Structure 1
């Protein structure tokens, strides 16, 4: 059994368990617990190596997890505290259930999205691929062969664009897409775009956050070639997405406005990640 297979917990339960265990670690004057990474490597479970991490952006109410870090690399998360025990990162990304497949969302899936976006798909020298996702932004996690292989997030119509203005999104917007490096070039990016569009089939217009990376543009091209009914519905958008902030994606493809990737999943990123990269002067593609 893996954490995602155990009974689901709520935000308050996650936070309370993390705080209680961290208090226990801080009150111990001795060190007699270790987390075994491999046959030859282990990490001391101490208050110095354990830190609270936020699950959501600007989280109100608070939702935090307890992560164990390597003392040799303070940026490397080696385990998470879930269901009253430590789990290595790879075990958190797995399931023992054959029935868990396709795109699913729950609080434990949000924990896994956090791992994929903040921890797993980067080297120790890189910053996180994405900024933390707000609670109001929905996420769907993609499962295949009992492993978490990717996710996508959506800004919902009517949700606030930011925390400092009253602007709201005027249409749904596919904001971030990630496929793990070892699972690319298998059509999962296309599968997630298809799921997004079918989930909002009643909307007259659907958005994809600007700017589109070459790989995301290639995914959109493949999708629109197969689903011509969306040719006039799918737009590249900037928040909040009024008509002056929309560009029809199919028209832009025909006009050669995008540098299309050679393969639809050469890059894991979509609009928000590319914006983060420009801000951080760090390319992930």
Structure 2
């Protein structure tokens, strides 16, 4: 059995176990043990080769696990201390439960550890920086299981949930925030499967979001999905938090207009958003990346008639009233319909060349 198959543990148990184990090592510094790696090499289990890894963003109280790393590279995690023993990263990502298959909602603390490994460790080389910000403890996530191993995930910001821990702004629609497919499992349509699952999960919501800016891989996924599912062309938007109408761009419309070629979407956001760089963005390797938080006074209650230019957007932000509550839903729905109609009128435009789907 693997850690995810063992009886559920509490996050406090992981933290206390890590602290106790490291204390025991410090009390016997010359009685080293070794952890054997699959490549027939081994790493000494010493206090100098172990560090605490924080699992969640802005976590109070903190939840951390003990990680064993190579003595030459403290960023290279080779094992975690769980259930009173060391487990290799590969084993933590596995399951012996055959019923654990497909996309499953993350519920246990060990599943959160798996999400952490996928987003922070597994797809990272020694030369690369971390691709994702830490995910909040309360964020909804689904892990994708195939052939007894975790091969990907996606996370969601729910409509009405707080955008951050330092303001009272809430998301105005549910947003697919981050997505990852492990490199060895790409080109199999798994990104498409996760996007389909996201849209089905929130089937009763009129509009859905995908965090801005979209990576080229995510553009490919969205293009193929919307080619196959015309009913979603009017409801899927690229959004910046918290998702006001000046912070939404209809994905199908922008694909039709070719705005995702050569990274033009990301460049447009950087040029038009005066808040770029004010907060640490979450990012993905095969999906979307969350844009920096947009302040409440930048919200606009009505959608632009066309993809906004910087000057026009700034004027709208300065002149239109703030709309963050449920009383604005009726007017937003009408404006969303106008934006959707514009997308329908452009359905005859020839599509740009299809890229490979993750």
TM over 0.5: yes
Q: Given the alignment of the two structures, is residue 270 of structure 1 paired with residue 288 of structure 2, yes or no?
A: yes
Corresponding position of 1:254: 256
Superposition pairs for residues 35-184 of structure 1, below 5 Å?
Answer: 35-38=35-38, 40-104=40-104, 105-106=106-107, 107-184=109-186
SS in 1 for 2:25: helix
Q: Normalized per residue, which structure has more helix? A: 2
Q: Normalized against structure 2, the TM-score is what?
A: 0.72
Contact 1:173 1:206 in 2 (8 A): yes
What is the total number of aligned residue pairs between the two structures?
A: 270
Q: Which one has a bigger Cα radius of gyration?
A: 2
Contact 2:215 2:286 in 1 (8 A): no
Q: CA RMSD in A?
A: 1.8
SS in 1 for 2:241: coil
SS in 1 for 2:48: coil
Long gaps (5+) in structure 2: 264-284, 293-357
Corresponding position of 1:215: 217
Alpha-carbon displacement from aligned partner over 1:116-161 (angstroms, at most 9, x marks no partner):
1111101101111101111122111100011111110111212221
Q: CA deviation at 1:260?
A: 8.3
Corresponding position of 2:8: 8
Corresponding position of 1:33: 33
Q: Normalized per residue, which structure has more strand? A: 1
2:39 & 2:261 partners in 1: Cα distance? 47
Contact 2:56 2:137 in 1 (8 A): yes
Contact 1:35 1:42 in 2 (8 A): yes
Task: Report which stretch shifted further, 148-157 or 35-44.
Answer: 35-44
Q: 2:195 aligns with which of 177, 182, 193?
A: 193
Q: CA deviation at 1:162?
A: 2.0
2:135 & 2:222 partners in 1: Cα distance? 23
Q: Normalized against structure 1, the TM-score is what?
A: 0.90
